[in-house]
Structure 1
Amino acid sequence: MGRVRPKGGGRVSAGCPTLCRMPLSPPPARPDLLRRLGLGRRGRTLGLATLVVVDAAFTISAFDLQRRIALGLGSDPSAPLTGLGGTISVLGMALAVTVVWRDRWPVALTLVGSAASLLAHLGPTLALIGLMTVIRLRPWARTYQLAPLVVLVTAVATWRDIDVEPRSMSFWAIFLGQEGAPHSWWVPVLLTVAAVGGFVGLGLWLRTRADLHTAEDVAASERQMVTTLTDQVSRQTERERLAREIHDGLGHNLSILSVHAGALEAMAEAAGDELVERPEGADAVEWRTAAQLKESAQVVRETAAKSVSELHSLLNILRNPGDADVAAPTKTLRDLRALIDDSVTAGMPLVATVYVEDGEAMDPPVAQAAYRIVQELLTNARKHAATVPVRLTMTGGPAEGELVIGTANHLPPPRWPPTHDGEVRPGTGLVGIRERVEHYGGDMQWGADAEAVFRVSVRLPWTLVDGADRREA
């Protein structure tokens, strides 16, 4: 029986003519959102680098002009830079590039920016950016160690800029509109406090925002953990209640059935002995009836005993779902022969073809699921089409990486034609099989064709998928 793989995902429906599969993992983040986040960070880096370049341009121009005046080379601001001025300008451009690594080495960036400001007559912007990043990413001890140095560097650079001659080369004089006016002592102090306070305040805001996001993530994680624990407790309570109900109800009924089946078997054996001792003898019909009665009673008794054993295993699993010894699979592919023989013995017209290569190598939970799926498929066929021949196929192996199970049988006339909407309604058995299949990362399809043949196809992976990708039933 062939299988058709769809191009897209979708849930399985009863009349689905093609194989529908559910996605096993959430969709990835949208690329446009990732691009926006990347552009945001690059934009901030470009803005900070531009501040360093502007600061370096003013300070280098002022320093080179003062040097040319001292050397008697003129005072034209538009003249080319001297050799020393050009070297410092290259250094300033290189320092602007280091802003890219501010998050990785903020302490080193602060120290380099401070040294460049004091020794190369550059501005304090790079040191201020480094201090801001230290506040955002490093322990407070580093901030307390570096803050005095950055304040000193900023004060020296501000005083040097305010005191530059000619005043037209002063950044702060142009910014404040006081190129020709004298300045008071408190002006550089106020500018130093404003510059350092601005960058420190921005660093504190960024750190507070990051801490808030971290706290929100921790709170969300704890809420999720509490929800998970609550669900686990609720499920365990429900398992305990369900185990009690099954034990008190179904266990009692199976025990009564086993007792009565044993009594019926004894009565059939006694009836056979009576036929042997009858003086006039017994005909063939009576002998066949007695033998069939005894055989049926024996099958009922053995089935009831098996059901009681499996019921105890199920109750242990319900009460101790995390115990590996309790929850270990009790049925494997090796037990399929007995399952098929039991179905045939019970009078089911079954034709089975099972070809599985190296079935012992299959993961035990998947093998247990395959056994239960075959068991439920045969039970459904026996329930809804008891007198109709059923075709069972099972193929697979490690080379294929999957196990394929299929059944096919004609629908009896009361169930054909289908309902007015053209679909065969699934029962709880098929729904349970689908949930079991999805739990192990497989897929399933079912439906009836135009010839009233009801087909079910199940594909299970040969090995278990990772827990992150496994769908919970």
Structure 2
Amino acid sequence: MTRTEYPWLLPSAMADPELPGDRGARSRRTVRDWIVDITAILCAAGIGLLTVATIEADPSTPEGIVLIDSLIGAVACCALWFRRRWPIGLAVAMTVLSTVEPVAAGALLVALFSVAVHRPFRPVALVGAGALAVAPIQPYLRPDPDTSFLASTIVGVLLILLVLSWGMVVRSRRQLVVTLRERARRAETEAALRAEQAQRLAREDIAREMHDVLAHRLTLLSVHAGALEFRPDAPPAEVARAAGVIRDSAHEALQDLREIIGVLRSPRDSEGDRPQPTLATLAALIAESRLAGMKVVLDNHLADPAAAPAATGRTVYRIAQEGLTNARKHAPGAEVTVTVSGGPGQGITVAVRNPAPTEPFEQVPGSGQGLIGLTERATLAGGRLDHGPEPGGGFGVRAWLPWPS
């Protein structure tokens, strides 16, 4: 037999460490442990003193036997100090000792209670069966003159069953408390994780919104500022028009930024407080791009753009906005075509295409995350998006989004 095969024979430091009562893993007792252990020793000593008084009252008992019984009972009570560390061994020792020493009965009951509290059912059943098996031996070897053998045996059996049942009830209650605490701790952890995930998703959503809104405005600023830098001899009218576009774009960028920052400062995350473009405002986006000097052709085949779902229309707007921004960065001066088609039950198809640039230009820096964000946005909306070079040159962004009938 090895210790790994019977782990319940190990000290309590290595068995059931999750229970509040199993404190063998700690080298120092708490104040509660001291109180409980001293109380258990005093209870066992009280039972032992009553037994000694009964033995001493019997005139046929020699005085030397009373002294020996008292000493053995004191040793048994003091041995209860180790009931937390070796409950199984102590209970077995007390069971054997109680067969010939009635003064050790109190220590036996406390030891059996400790086993029931600190060990699972199998070792408790084995130790309890052993204690019940030897219960008739002590009344037989040292009978009580005032009590019959049968009555003494029945009382001993009932006391053993009582302390074992009481100990198992205490253990079950402690296990229930540990389980409830673990569930509460797990629930708090899961709630914190859900809150953290929701906060992270909200931040990602706001960051995506800021990219979609501000990239378009800031690209206009960069393009026109670059034109003024490289053409200082431009006519005054053209310089004034470019300066007006820069001023308007900066104003719109600040306004959009103010609205998004307002969402961050708001105590509630209301979708209606954010900028909400729709398909109906797509024409205004095209007009703004044309005013900035872009060549944009809008081919809108939707009969009633305002009837499209708000979320779908907003996604179409963002795709067109990002496509125009990328075309302005990477193909300035090229004609961009924005095509929108579909209807209820068919879905909405949006495509933004531009030919390859024909003249050298200064590259406008970008984050490189716009198309990735568009793909994610389209996927979350239940659609799909692909992008890449066109067969005849240039670049294209194509997306399909659902439109329920």
Q: Which of the pair has the greater relative contact order for Cα pairs under 8 Å at 6+ separation?
A: 1
Q: Quickly name the TM-score band, shorter chain normalised.
A: 0.3 to 0.5
TM-score, L = length of structure 2: 0.43
TM-score (norm 1): 0.38
